[in-house]
Amino acid sequence: MTPLPACFTDWFSARGWHLHPHQREMLARADAPATLLIAPTGGGKTLAGFLPTLVDLAEGPHAGLHTLYISPLKALAADIKRNLTAPVDEMGLAIRVEDRTGDTSAHAKRRQRADPPHILLTTPESLALMISYEDAPRIFAGLKRVVIDEIHALAESKRGDQLMLALSRLEALCPDLRRVGLSATVEDPPALARYLAHGENACDILLADPGPAPDIAMLEVSEPPPWSGGGAAYAIPAVLDQIKRHKTTLIFHNTRAQAEIFFHNLWLANEDDLPIAVHHGSLDRVQRARVEAAMTRGELRAIVCTGSLDLGIDWGDVDLVIQVGAPKNVKRLVQRIGRANHRYNAPSKALLVPANRFEVVECLAALEAVRAHDLDGEARGPGPRDVLCQHILIRACAGAFEAGVLYQEVAGVGAYAGLTRAEFDACLEFCATGGYALRAYDQWQRLVQRADGAWHLRDPRSARLIRMNIGTIQDSDTLKVRMKRARGGKPLGEVEEGFAATLSPGDTFLIGGQIVRFESLREMVVEVSRDAGRKPKIATFTGTKFATSTQLSERILALLAQPEWPDLPEVIRDWLHLQRRVSEMPKAGHLLVESFAHDGREKTCIYGFSGRNAQQTLGLLITNRMEELGLAPLGFVATDYATLIWGLEAVTDAAPLFDAASLRVGFESWLAGNAVMKRTFRASATIAGLIQRNIPSARKNGRQATMSSDILYDTLAKYDPGHLLLDITRQEAMRGLVDFGRIEEMLARVDGRITHRRLARVSPLAAPLFLEAGRTPVKGAAEERLLAEETARLMQAAGLTG
Amino acid sequence: MDGYPFTLAGAELTALASGALYWDARNLLCVSDLHLGKAERRARLGEPPLPPYETRDTLSRLENDLRQTGASTVICLGDSFDDSAAAAALPEAEKLWIAKLQAGRRWVWIEGNHDPGPVDLGGAHLAELPVPPLVFRHIARPGQSGEISGHYHPKVRLALRGRSLSRPAFLVDSNRVILPAYGTYTGGLYSHDEVLSTLMRQEALAILTGAMVHATPMPRQGTLRP
C-alpha cells in the first residue's frame, strides 16, 4: 500500500484529523483502472478521490495535466478549488489547481490550453468542448486520473452519457487513464460501476461506512392536511416551530412554484424575523449565490429550496431536512436526508410533510421504504443516440477520423455497449447528410469522406457552430424578469415563456419570495414593479413535476391492500374505509375504473398508479378512444395515481377503452401529433445538432426568430416518417414527459383484469381529483373554438366587429 | 374557402387561412416570403442539413390555393427564394412544378432582400408593382397607403385560458397589409415588436392564419397580450 508521505501525516496530525478507512482504501487502490466510491455526504469523499493524485504529485514532478475533476455544478468546481488550494499551499506542494467552466475568462482558457495545470476542475460540457479542439492530444498528454463527482446524479441524465463518450475519447488519447467515481447512496451500485467502467476493464466498488440510520418521521400537525393541492400551508406553524428548535433547516419542495408559495406563507407567519431564504433554479444567479454565501457563513436559519440544492457544497450546520410534499422517489428522499448533519457518524434528521391527504399515504409508504433500505431507480436503457450524434460532430471538429475506430471507442462505453455498427452508421449518416430518404444537396454534406476513407468536416465554419452548441441541457423557453427602472433594474430570475404569455399588465405573481406586478415586456424581458399586496393574483410558474416512481407506487398499493392502517391518522383511515364501503380499493394486478354521474357530467376515474406523466398521457389516449366510440369526452385531469375524465356520455363498459393494441396504435399515430411529442422531438433534434440553440451574433438579425422545431417535426412526419430523429423521439417518449413505457407496463401488469364500478355518486378516492389544478381540455376542434371565442371577445372589447 | 374579407383603399380583399391574399376583382393571388431552397442554402453555409422537403411542401400548398381560387395573376411578394443561388439550385422536378403552376397565368416575382436579382425561371421580375389603387412591394414604407407588403413574417401570440398559442398573421390597417410568410421553413416576428408596432396604426387588426382565420386587434409593444 502507498504510504502517506510525511508532509501529509504532519498536516493531518496538526489538525487532529485522521484518514477515514475508505480514504486509506482509495489510496491503496490508486492503480485500479476504475473505482466507484459510495459514501454518505460528510464522509470526506472528495479528499478520498484526490488523495492518490496529491500523493503522486507530492512524490515527483509531473509535466502537464495529471488529474481531471468533473462535477455537474460549476459552483462545486470553484468550491473544490478553494478546498484543495488550502492544503496544497499549507503543505508547500508545487501543484497547480485551476477550474475551467462556462464562467472562466477566454484569456484563462487559452492559457490553460497552452499550459494545462496539474489538476483541472471542470464540467461535462467544458470537457466536451476541450476534446473538440484539434490540439486535444497535446492538452491531455500525460493525463493519469479522472475523478467524477456526484456520479449518481450525472448517470441519470444525458450529461452523463456525454461525459462517458468524452472519456472514451480521452481513453484513446491516454490509454492508462484511471477512473474514480464518487457517489451518494444508490439502489444498484453494480449498475453504476458498469456505467463508469471502460470496455472490458472491471470497476471496483468501495462502500464506505454508511453511518447511522437516519432519524426520519412525519411532521406532527394538529390540523389534518387538505384534500388536494401542494401548498402545505396548514403545516406552516409546525414547520416554523421546528426551524426555531434547530440550528439550520433545509426545506425541500418538489416544484419551484410550491417553494415560492410556501416561502411566501412562511414569511408572513415569521413574526420573530428569523433569517430565512429561498433558493431555486429560476432565481437569478446572483441572488442564488448570495443565499449560498449567507448559508456558508451560517447566517440563515432555514432555506426553502428545490432540487437546486440536491447537490453541491456541504453545509455542516444543517441539522434538519424537511421534505414538503410526497417525495415521489425514495432514492432522492434518502439523498436529500443526507444533506442534514454532515458530521460523519451522526444520524441525519428529517421530517416529511404531506401536502394533501393522499400524500399522507405516499409519505408513509416512503418512510417504510427508507427504513427497509429499499431504494428505487429506473433502468436507463441503452445510450441515447442523439447524444452520440453530437459526439460524432464533436469528434469531427477535432480532425479527420475513421468510422470503425470511432465505433470501437463508443462501444467501449457502458451505456453504448449494445450499439450495433448499423445503428452507429445511421447516426454518422445523419451527421453527414441529414440521413433523409430523399438524397438532396449531396455536394453540401456536413461531413465528407476523404479518399482514404476518413471523415472530416466539409466546411471548417461548421466547427464554430458545433462548438457553440455543445451540451445536452435543455433550457426551456424562459424569459428574464427584472425590476422596471430607467436603466435596467435588478434581475430577479426567470419565468417560463408560456407563463409570461398569460400575464396582463397589473397581474401579480411571486418570484424570489416577493410579490411583483407585471408592467410590460421589453425585448423579451418581463419588467415588473414591487407590489405591496399580500396575496399574489397568480401563483407562479410551473417548473418540473416529478412522477412517483414505480417502486413507490407498488408500495402504496401494498399499503392500501392492508385490512387496517394503524400507522395512519384517523381522518385518513376513515377516508380509506369509506372507499372500501362505497366502491373498492385499487389493487396491484388489477385496474380499478369507477364511473358516476356528477354535476350533470359523466365522470370516469382510472386508478393506474403509473405516475403523473403516464397518467396524463393515458388521459390523452383514452379520451381519444372515447371520441372514436362517441362518448364525447370534454376534458381530464391527472395525478400520480389516477386520471379523471369528464364527458357527455356514460361509460358503461370500460374494457374496450383499454384495448392494448388500439392504445399502441394511438401512441404511434394520434399521439404523434401531440405537443408533448413535439417537445420531446425538439430536445433530441437540438442535442443531435439539427436545431441550434446558439448562432453567431453576426448572423442573428434578431428580427425574424428562428423557425419553430414543430415545423421540422411536421415535415419529417409527413415526408420522411422513418427518419432517425423520429425513431429517437419515439424511444424517448417511452420515458420522461410522455412515459408511454409505464402505460405499457401497467397494461401488462393488469393483463385484462379491469374492474369497472358504476357508482351512484363520487367515490372517496376520486373526490380529491375534482380539486386538482391543471385540467386538460380535449383538443382538436376545441382549440379553434377557444380561439374563435377569444378573438371575438377581444374584438368586442376593442369596439370592433368582425 | 375560409377567409377574412376586408377593404384597403377601396379594393375588396380576402385574407385566406393559408396565408395567401386574394383580390377577387382582379382574380389575383398574392403570397409572400416563400423562401424556396432554404434547406439547400443552409447546408451550403455549413449548417445542419434540414429535411429537404420544404420546397415541395410550399409548392403543394400554393397549388392548392391556385386550384381553389382559379387566380389568373400570381404575385410573389419577394424573398421567394432563400437566395439567388438557392433559386438556381432547385431540383429540376421543382423547377418544372413551378413552370406548371405558371402555365396560363400572369406571374410576377417581386424582388426581396434575399433574392434581389432576376432568377432563371419564367414570369416577370419587378422591384415593385403598382396595380391601382394598390401597390405591391417587399418591404413596407412608412407614409405609404394602399400598400401590400411582406418581409417581416408577422405572427401573433394570444393567451387562451391559461395556455398560449402563436400563429402567423396578416397585419391590416387603413394604409397597408403586411402578409405572413407563406414558405414552410419560415420563423416569424411577433406583432409586439417595435418595428411592427410603429409601422401599424393604433387600430390595426391581426388576422390569424391556420385551420381557420381569426381576426383580433393587433397585439402591440409593451404587452404580451392586448
Q: How confident is the model over A115-131, as pLDDT tens digits?
A: 999 999 999 999 999 99
Is B164 in contact with A498 (Cβ distance < 8 A)?
Answer: yes
Residues of A in contact with B44 (CB under 8 A): 441, 444
Q: Hey, is A24 helix, strand or coil?
A: helix
Q: Give the Cα separation of B116 and B111 in Å (integer).
A: 5
Q: How many domains does chain B have?
A: 1
Q: Give the Cα separation of B75 and B109 in Å (integer).
A: 6
> Which of A465, A503, A712 is facing B224, going by the closest CB pair?
A503
User: What secondary structure does DSSP assign to A131-142, as a single string?
Assistant: HTSTTHHHHTTT
Q: Phi-psi region for residue A419, left (φ > 0), alpha (ψ -120 to 50) or beta?
A: beta
Mutate to test the interface with A, among B42, B214, B220, B221 (most CBs of A within 10 A): B214
Residues of A in contact with B46 (CB under 8 A): 446, 457-462, 465
Residues in contact with A181: Cβ distance below 8 Å, sequence separation at least 6, in sequence order: A34, A35, A36, A37, A148, A151, A192, A193, A196, A203
Which grid cell sits at A322? 424537511
Cell 427602472 locates to: A485
pLDDT range class, residue A780, cuts 50, 70, 90: very low
Q: What is the mean pLDDT of residues A7-17?
A: 88
Is A791 in contact with B216 (Cβ distance < 8 A)?
Answer: yes
> Which of B4, B48, B195 is facing A690, going by the closest CB pair?
B48
> Which of A502, A520, A791 is facing B214, going by the closest CB pair?
A791
Q: Under a CB-based contact definition with an 8 Å cutoff, are residues B25 and B13 in contact?
A: no
Residues in contact with A488: Cβ distance below 8 Å, sequence separation at least 6, in sequence order: A482
Residue A409, Cβ density class (10 Å: 0-12 exposed, 13-18 middle, ≥19 buried)? buried
Q: What is the mean pLDDT of residues A406-417?
A: 95
Put simply, whether the predicted model's pTM sits higher than 0.80 gets the answer: yes
Residues of B in contact with A783 (CB under 8 A): 160, 165
User: What secondary structure does DSSP assign to A393-433, as a single string?
Assistant: HHHHHT--B-HHHHHHHHHTBGGGTT--HHHHHHHHHHHHH
Nearest to A190 by CA among A52, A366, A379, A388: A379
- Provide CATH code, domain A215-371: 3.40.50.300
**AA letter at A500:** A
Is B51 in contact with A436 (Cβ distance < 8 A)?
Answer: yes
Per the domain annotation, does B224 fall within a domain? no
Choose from A285-289, A495-499, A686-690 the range with maximum mean pLDDT: A686-690
Q: What is the mean pLDDT of residues B82-101?
A: 94
> Which of A433, A711, A802 is facing B215, going by the closest CB pair?
A802
Which grid cell sits at A299? 447566517
Q: Hey, is A728 helix, strand or coil?
A: helix
CA dihedral (A606, A607, A611, A617) in degrees, to 10, reads -10
Q: Give the Cα separation of A786 and A769 in Å (integer).
A: 24
Is A505 in contact with B223 (Cβ distance < 8 A)?
Answer: yes
How many residues would you count in chain A? 802
**Structure confidence at residue B160 (pLDDT):** 66
Q: Give the Cα separation of A144 and A131 in Å (integer).
A: 16
Q: Hey, is A304 helix, strand or coil?
A: strand
A350: β partners = A216, A321
**Structure confidence at residue A284 (pLDDT):** 83
Range with lowest mean pLDDT among A521-530, A792-801, B70-79, B106-115? A792-801
Is A521 in contact with B223 (Cβ distance < 8 A)?
Answer: yes
Q: Under a CB-based contact definition with an 8 Å cutoff, are residues A228 and A771 in contact?
A: yes
Give tens-digit pLDDT for A187-213.
889 999 999 998 888 899 999 988 888
> Which of B189, B216, B223 is facing A520, going by the closest CB pair?
B223
Residues of A in contact with B152 (CB under 8 A): 703-704
Q: Strand runs (DSSP E) across A458-524, as ranges?
A: 478-483, 491-496, 508-511, 514-522
Q: Give the Cα separation of A556 and A362 in Å (integer).
A: 6
CATH 1.10.10 domain residues, chain A: 385-468
Q: Strand runs (DSSP E) across A484-610, as ranges?
A: 491-496, 508-511, 514-522, 525-530, 591-598, 601-607
Q: Give the Cα separation of A703 and A686 in Å (integer).
A: 22
**Structure confidence at residue A585 (pLDDT):** 96
Neighbour tally for A51: CB within 10 Å: 20
Q: How far is B137 from chain A (nearest CA, A)?
A: 19
Q: What is the mean pLDDT of chain A?
A: 87
Residues of B in contact with A705 (CB under 8 A): 187-190
Per the domain annotation, does B38 fall within a domain? yes
Q: Give the Cα separation of B219 and B204 in Å (integer).
A: 9
B6: β partners = B13
Per the domain annotation, does B223 fall within a domain? no
**Structure confidence at residue B225 (pLDDT):** 40
Q: Under a CB-based contact definition with an 8 Å cutoff, are residues A692 and A465 in contact?
A: yes
Asked if the A6-207 domain carries CATH number 3.40.50.300, the reply is: yes
Mutate to test the interface with A, among B55, B139, B157, B160 (most CBs of A within 10 A): B160
**Structure confidence at residue A73 (pLDDT):** 82
Give tens-digit pLDDT for B179-193.
999 999 988 888 988
pLDDT range class, residue A538, cuts 50, 70, 90: low
Q: Give the Cα separation of A314 and A225 in Å (integer).
A: 33
CATH 3.40.50.300 domain residues, chain A: 6-207, 215-371
Q: How far is B141 from chain A (nearest CA, A)?
A: 17
Does the ipTM surpass 0.95? no
Closest-CA residue of B relative to A542 is B162
Q: Give the Cα separation of A552 and A497 in Å (integer).
A: 33
Residues of B in contact with A434 (CB under 8 A): 43, 48-52
- The CATH class of A385-468 is mainly alpha
User: What secondary structure does DSSP assign to A630-646, as a single string?
Assistant: T--EEEEEE-SS-EEEE
> Which of A446, A716, A791 is facing B49, going by the closest CB pair?
A446
- Cα–Cα distances (Å) from A461 to A213, A467, A766, in that order, read 56, 11, 59
Residues of A in contact with B225 (CB under 8 A): 501-504
Mutate to test the interface with B, among A790, A793, A800, A801 (most CBs of B within 10 A): A790
Residues of A in contact with B40 (CB under 8 A): 440-441, 444
Size of interface A-B (CB pairs under 8 A): 155
pLDDT range class, residue B69, cuts 50, 70, 90: very high
Give tens-digit pLDDT for A218-277.
999 988 888 877 778 899 999 999 999 999 999 999 888 888 889 988 999 999 999 999
Q: What is the mean pLDDT of residues A460-468?
A: 91
Domain limits for position B115: 3-217
Percentage of chain A lying above the pLDDT 70 cut: 92
Is residue A783 predicted with pLDDT exceeding 70?
no
Give tens-digit pLDDT for A608-641.
999 988 998 899 889 888 888 888 888 888 989 9
Is A791 in contact with B223 (Cβ distance < 8 A)?
Answer: no
Is A692 in contact with B225 (Cβ distance < 8 A)?
Answer: no
Q: Hey, is B43 helix, strand or coil?
A: helix
Closest-CA residue of A relative to B3 is A802
What CATH number should be reported for the domain holding residue B204? 3.60.21
Per the domain annotation, does B34 fall within a domain? yes
pLDDT range class, residue A537, cuts 50, 70, 90: low
